[in-house]
A and B are shown apart, each in its own frame.
Chain A
Amino acid sequence: MNKRVALTGNEAIAKAMQQINPDVVAAYPITPQTEIVQIFSKYVADGLVDTEFVTVESEHSAMSACIGSAAGGARSMTATSANGLALMWEVVYIAASTRLPIVMPVVNRALSGPINIHCDHSDAMGARDSGWIQLFSENAQEAYDNAIQAVRIAENKDVLLPVMVNLDGFIISHAVENLNINDAEEVQKFVGEYKAEHYLLDKENPITVGPLDLQDFYFEHKRQQSEAMKYAKETVKEIGKEYGKLTGREYGFFSEYKLEDAEIALIGMGSTMGTAKAAVDELREQGVKVGLLKLRMFRPFPAEELAKALSHVPVIGVLDRAETFSTNGGPLFTDMHYALYGQDHKLIDFIYGLGGRDTNVSHVKGMFEMLQKAKDGQPIDRINYIGVRE
């Protein structure tokens, strides 16, 4: 049932999309996402999927077409990166607020400018308040698995929210990895047939989608979105378990690595978590009690669960592959303060890897060293920039 293959992250996502066989894909190429669209369009040309593939003139149109097709009752997907996501911005919000279960892999890349095509999370972080569910992946396996689960999460009738599946540009998207892929049939059974309750092409029950929503109703719709995000939490957990039963790879909000007896720990997202595990292993060999928490679900933010998982760790380093320019640290850092509010933890932010700046094991070990110093009572800056030249 599980097949071991060597694929790049982009190939793995395209494979997931082929197995999902969505009704509509509308997409525009952008580095480093381009291959996903390219490979998928080949599947379309070769008749390997039944998908209506819409070639559009921009990402704004890609998301708009997805909104139209999803409102029409079709299972719809797209994929993008960085400036492509930024160009979608307006319609990204409309997709979420119209409650359309669109699934979009985002191959994370630095947002301009200065222009840069390499990995960081500034693209996804720009969309963190858009009402999309956001999942992050450590490697191609997780990206593939997240993409398949995303369909079920998005389409849950109590959720009906779009899902962004994040994977690090180049590091995951272009590197070849060994991963397990499922049988196409199994994926088809898992995602099932999408049956929208209300959709534009239902001529027996005509509806209006996207009407003007003024002072007297807009707020209620926003309140509904907040509630749907709470359901999303439950759904992500349930689907993660169900997927685990099917494939042996279970998913939750986050995963812990040697965290149980850790005295200092890091939390972060994406491919650097693999690097961080190597650093944890090296330091553990030297007898340092370090641990790692890899966050998979950033939106909704599992604050309560994180607080519980980290309750015994006095000093926590937060890895942020994006800057907020608020002068208060990265996006994960500020959310972690909410999660741990009122508790006696020391939190230190590490902003790292912007624009694809390499972050290696020794960088991560350096972070742990700083955490250790903080634990020993030495003064350490709250916000640190790792790997930047002074």
Chain B
Amino acid sequence: MSKEQKPGWKSLPIGGLILTAGNADEYNTGGWRVKRPEWIPDNCIHCLFCWVYCPDSSIETEEGKMTGIDYEHCKGCGICAEVCPAKEKAIVMEPEGGKEDGDE
């Protein structure tokens, strides 16, 4: 989470209005994640199903190819892993921090 000072009530737009379009990028939601999608490039066929389905626009691409995952915004919903059609899944969900709840 960023440490920058958020605006006070005197300068904040009223009524909860957001006056700047497309500013969701400024709001990091990666901290909500319990499980993280891990990309396995060797299995990837670059079909971009994951890119189409990701509800948080967190699949990074370059020139039509999958290049990685934006962990600042990925909420770990697991949809990408679910829809990945590669024979050997190219995205697998791993517990955030490497441990399952209850692991010693």
Contacts and interface: CB of A to CB of B under 8 A. Distances in A.
Do A and B pair up? The answer is: yes
B18 A221 contact: no
A224 to B, nearest CB: 5
A221 to B, nearest CB: 5
Contacts of B7: 220
B15 A98 contact: yes
A208 interface: yes
A208 B8 contact: no
A206 B22 CA distance: 9
A261 interface: no
Given A216-B6, A220-B8, A224-B9, A198 B17 contact: yes
Interface residues of A, number: 22
A207 B17 contact: yes
Contacts of B13: 198
Given A99-B14, A228-B14, A220 B19 contact: no
A295 interface: no
Interface string A189-217: 00000000010000001111111010011
Contacts of B8: 220
Contact of B19 (A100, A207, A210): A207
A98 B16 contact: yes
A268 B9 CA distance: 35
A198 B19 contact: yes
Given A216-B6, A217-B6, A224 B17 contact: no
Contact of B18 (A97, A100, A211, A228): A211
Contacts of B86: none
Nearest to B23: A208
Given A221-B9, A224-B9, A205 B15 contact: no
Contacts of A198: 13, 17, 19
B9 A97 contact: no
A332 B30 CA distance: 49
A224 B6 contact: no
Contacts of B52: none
A220 B17 contact: no
Contacts, number: 50
B17 A97 contact: no
Contacts of B21: 206-208
Interface string A274-307: 0000000000000000000000000000000000
B11 to A, nearest CB: 9
Nearest to A209: B17
A205 B17 contact: no
A224 B14 contact: yes
Contacts of A351: none
B9 A100 contact: no
A20 interface: no
Interface string A41-81: 00000000000000000000000000000000000000000
Residue with the greatest number of chain A CB neighbours at <10 A, chosen from B6, B8, B9: B9
A160 B13 CA distance: 12
Interface string B1-33: 000001111001111111101000000000000
B78 to A, nearest CB: 22
Interface in A156-211: 160, 198, 205-211
A97 B21 CA distance: 21
B69 to A, nearest CB: 23
Nearest to B7: A220
B12 A220 contact: yes
Q: What 6 pairs between A and B have smallest CB-CB spacing?
A: A99-B15, A208-B18, A220-B9, A223-B9, A206-B21, A98-B15
21 contacts: A98-B17, A160-B14, A198-B17, A207-B19, A208-B21, A209-B17, A210-B16, A211-B16, A213-B16, A216-B6, A217-B16, A220-B7, A220-B8, A221-B9, A221-B12, A221-B14, A221-B16, A223-B9, A224-B9, A224-B15, A228-B14
Given A221-B9, A224-B14, A224-B15, 12 more contacts: A98-B16, A99-B15, A100-B15, A160-B15, A207-B19, A208-B17, A211-B16, A211-B18, A217-B12, A220-B7, A220-B12, A221-B16
